[in-house]
Amino acid sequence: MLDSAPGKPINLYKFHKPKLRLYETRPSALKPESKRSVLIPHNSLNPHFLFESPPSVSFTVYILNNSRCLRNLANYDTPHIRIPLPRARQAAVLVALFVGRHGDLYVLLNRRASTLRTYAGDTALPGGKVEPGDKTIEDTAIGLPIDKRKVPLLCVLPPFLARNSLIVTPVVVLVLDKSIQPILAPAEVASMFSHPLHAFLSTTSPFSNEPEAVEVAYHTFFDFPWNGPSPPAFSPDFHFNHELHQDKERSRLEPRSMSRTHSFLTGREAGGTKPVFGLTAAMLIEVARIGYAREPEFEVQPPNAPSGEERIVWALRREGAFRKAFEDEGRWENVKAILDGLLLRLWRERKEKERAARTRRSGGLKSRL
């Protein structure tokens, strides 16, 4: 149950909060005023608004492409979330976009202080865990400013599962007021910088003059085994029990599904800045996919990889931190039954997609014969 007491507003530009623990990423319902805030001022998307003189035709096309990106994000409807989530294990991050001097979109990132106990020096999005006074996930990420015309909310993405047993929701905003200056907490943040949003769909570095762009691949990835059940073990006959943690049970789950994590150079590695990787990279890939309405130049996940929803449901059902949070809320037994039903539904949806894919492949083969 949400705390009805009013909480202290979270400063949008004081990016890191105490005890922030982000390594990688269910949104609450949007406030009515936030839904209205996605109406972006028309002149902010007008190419002529950005320059004293009209730009060239080709450059105008480039700017309009980024304008469409903002429109796509503003028109994005967060899918219905079927998953019950414990409030104590929820967090949010702010994806703050702004228009650069040449009309392209950038996202604000920060470098965590080297003195932090966890994930020191990592490149991350600003954000933090849900606080008692937060009434929506928006409060957690940004504490919406009074004048929403200056920082309109674009959209809220579905949640992501973080490695430290947190469910993290990205909240996407557009910073229109160029006079706003971020407030950095030296104990939390070493520095702040920006990165082109479109570059999270590319394998080519946007920083062609940097040595790293030549010596090291801009985009890399690695695959790792998912710790959940893989088809055919992920079936209606699959039962949850403590033996699942044992090696003899794990061998029964082969072949295991694989998940993929991505990494992007920032162009600042020579100065000690780490690449954008893990969950931060996953969230920004998804923001760019939605905005630019196209797939990346690389394969985001390997075939048969678990969906984000599958990973979250499996973690909620299995990991001790989530169970304790549900028990503290007095609803573990009810939630357990819901999660078991969701796992079964997800398995059926997966099998239906596999059948549909086989049908399409066989139909294509027949047409070629």
Q: What percent of the chain has pLDDT over 70?
A: 67
- Residue 214 pLDDT grade (very low, low, confident, very high; cuts 50, 70, 90): low
pLDDT at site 80: 80
Q: Does position 330 have pLDDT exceeding 70, yes or no?
A: yes
Q: At 341, list the tokens.
A: 């039903």
Task: State pLDDT tens for residues 155-213.
Answer: 999 999 998 899 999 999 888 877 666 666 776 777 888 999 999 999 999 986 655 55
Give kind and range of the element (H or E) at residue 106.
Answer: strand 105-112
Nearest Cα neighbor of 110 from 124, 120, 98 is: 124
Determine contact, residues 142/125, Cβ cutoff 8 Å: no
Which of 3.30.70, 1.20.1300, 3.90.79, 3.40.50 would CATH assign to domain 32-196?
3.90.79
| For residues 6-21, average pLDDT | 31
| For residues 146-153, average pLDDT | 72
More confident residue, 196 or 363: 196
| For residues 329-351, average pLDDT | 90
Q: Does position 38 have pLDDT exceeding 60, yes or no?
A: no
More confident residue, 290 or 207: 290
Q: Does position 87 have pLDDT exceeding 60, yes or no?
A: yes
Nearest Cα neighbor of 96 from 131, 124, 59 is: 124
pLDDT at site 157: 94
pLDDT at site 207: 81
- Residue 82 pLDDT grade (very low, low, confident, very high; cuts 50, 70, 90): confident
Q: Does position 95 have pLDDT exceeding 50, yes or no?
A: yes
Transcribe 207-221 into DSSP letters: -TTSHHHHHS-SEEE
- 147 SS3 class: coil
Largest alpha-carbon pair distance within the chain?
70
Q: Does position 23 have pLDDT exceeding 70, yes or no?
A: no
Q: Does position 118 have pLDDT exceeding 50, yes or no?
A: yes
What mean pLDDT value characterizes the chain? 74
- 27 SS3 class: coil
More confident residue, 50 or 134: 134
Determine contact, residues 328/88, Cβ cutoff 8 Å: yes
Q: What residues does each domain of the chain span? A: 32-196, 225-258+306-368
Determine contact, residues 127/92, Cβ cutoff 8 Å: yes
| For residues 88-113, average pLDDT | 89
Alpha-carbon separation of residue 48 from 53, 78, 97, 135, 284 (angstroms): 7, 32, 20, 39, 28
| For residues 230-252, average pLDDT | 41
Residue 99: strand pairing partners: 105
- 94 SS3 class: strand
Nearest Cα neighbor of 286 from 295, 273, 278, 297 is: 295
pLDDT at site 246: 40
pLDDT at site 364: 62
pLDDT at site 182: 67
Contacts of 289 (CB under 8 A, 6+ apart): 201, 295, 296
Distance separating alpha carbons of residues 124 and 108, to the nearest angstrom:
9
pLDDT at site 142: 67
- 196 SS3 class: strand
Q: Does position 319 have pLDDT exceeding 50, yes or no?
A: yes
My answer on whether omega of the bond before 27 falls inside 30° of 0, hence cis, is no
Q: Output the CA torsion sign for 293, 82, 311, 254.
A: negative
| For residues 116-131, average pLDDT | 83
Nearest Cα neighbor of 86 from 319, 340, 305, 265 is: 319
| For residues 236-247, average pLDDT | 39
Neighbours of 202 (CB within 10 A): 16
Nearest Cα neighbor of 304 from 364, 232, 249 is: 232
Long-range pairs for 46-53: beta carbons < 8 A, 24 or more residues apart: 47/103, 50/99, 50/103
Distance separating alpha carbons of residues 116 and 162, to the nearest angstrom:
18
Q: What is the pTM of this model?
A: 0.76
Q: What percent of the chain has pLDDT over 90?
A: 33
pLDDT at site 133: 80
